[in-house]
Amino acid sequence: GAVVSQHPSWVICKSGTSVKIECRSLDFQATTMFWYRQFPKQSLMLMATSNEGSKATYAQGVEKDKFLINHASLTLSTLTVTSAHPEDSSFYICSATRDSLDAEQYFGPGTRLTVT
Amino acid sequence: QQQVKQSPQSLIVQKGGISIINCAYENTAFDYFPWYQQFPGKGPALLIAIRPDVSEKKEGRFTISFNKSAKQFSLHIMDSQPGDSATYFCAASYPQGGKLIFGQGTELSVKP
């Protein structure tokens, strides 16, 4: 149990366009979902925390108008990268927790975004 | 401010050997310390985790040693196998399911 999926697994988009990444908890209801960004050979950096039905909380330095997060249901969160630029090319990973008191995060397989 | 420091950055171990990765944290409010394994192009997967009220936890070939007074914890991989070659991340989180703070990662290579 506790499976998290992401779609798409990889995406290529042109500079200036927007791209949406979906994160789904397949067999549990996720009270909280997290979005991370990971550059090659680097660690995971938290971008934002989202709770169903409320606005996301963004990490310091992350532009909320550029990285739009919607947590519309207990099983789905989306990250939209608006007006993408080549420097946004990265590996985006989501995670989810089953309980607000549960420290364990279940990670998705990641989405590779390449902006040309 | 880097709150979780991980070392070494890379590690090469012979098959059958012991791999040891260390982490140190600063904030005593952390109460959950997981280790993740990540293969290239994949999301991280939880290996093993510990709470500060326990000094050691073992699951199969993986052991976490935790030193609360020193604010350090380490991962030991016994009988390391080539299939263990991956990047390992330690992390720490605040109480009540707070955000995870990751270490910098260790790239482990197990030579046959």
* Cβ–Cβ gap A46/B100 under 8 Å: yes
Å from B17 to nearest chain A CA? 25
Kindly list the residues of chain B whose beta carbon comes within 8 Å of any beta carbon in chain A: 31-32, 34, 36, 41-46, 49, 89, 93, 95-100, 102-105, 107
Band the pLDDT of B51: cuts 50, 70, 90: very high
* Cβ–Cβ gap B41/A43 under 8 Å: no
**Sheet with B4-7, edge to edge strand ranges:** B4-7, B19-25, B72-77, B62-67, B56-59
Band the pLDDT of B42: cuts 50, 70, 90: very high
Is the pLDDT at B96 greater than 80, yes or no? no
Work out the average pLDDT over A100-115: 90
How confident is the model at residue A101, as a pLDDT? 72
Kindly list the residues of chain A whose beta carbon comes within 8 Å of any beta carbon in chain B: 4, 6, 32, 34, 41-46, 49, 91, 93, 95, 97, 99-110, 112
The count of CB pairs under 8 A between chains A and B is 61
Spatial separation of the C-alpha atoms in residues A102 and B34, rounded to whole Å: 13
Question: Which among B43, B93, B98 has the least Cβ separation from residue A93?
Answer: B43
Contact list in B for residue A44 (CB cut-off 8 A) is 44, 89, 100, 102
Tell how strand B62-67 and strand B72-77 pair up.
antiparallel
Question: Which among B45, B46, B104 has the least Cβ separation from residue A43?
Answer: B104
Spatial separation of the C-alpha atoms in residues B97 and A56, rounded to whole Å: 16
Question: Which among A43, A49, A101 has the least Cβ separation from residue B102?
Answer: A43
Which residue type is seen at B18? I
Query: What are A39's two structure tokens?
Result: 């550059």
Place of tokens 């991340």: B89
How confident is the model at residue A60, as a pLDDT? 92
* Cβ–Cβ gap A107/B36 under 8 Å: yes
Band the pLDDT of B48: cuts 50, 70, 90: very high
Residue A23 zone, left/alpha/beta (φ > 0; ψ -120 to 50; rest): beta
Å from A92 to nearest chain B CA? 9
**HEC sequence for chain B:** CCCEEEECCEEEEECCCCEEEEEEECCCCCCEEEEEEECCCCCCEEEEEECCCCCEEEECCEEEEEECCCCEEEEEECCCCHHHCEEEEEEEECCCCCCEEECCCEEEEEEC
Contact list in A for residue B95 (CB cut-off 8 A) is 103
- Tens digit of each residue's pLDDT (9 = 90 or more) over B60-85: 999 999 999 999 999 999 999 999 99
How confident is the model at residue B63, as a pLDDT? 97
Band the pLDDT of A53: cuts 50, 70, 90: confident
Contact list in B for residue A112 (CB cut-off 8 A) is 41
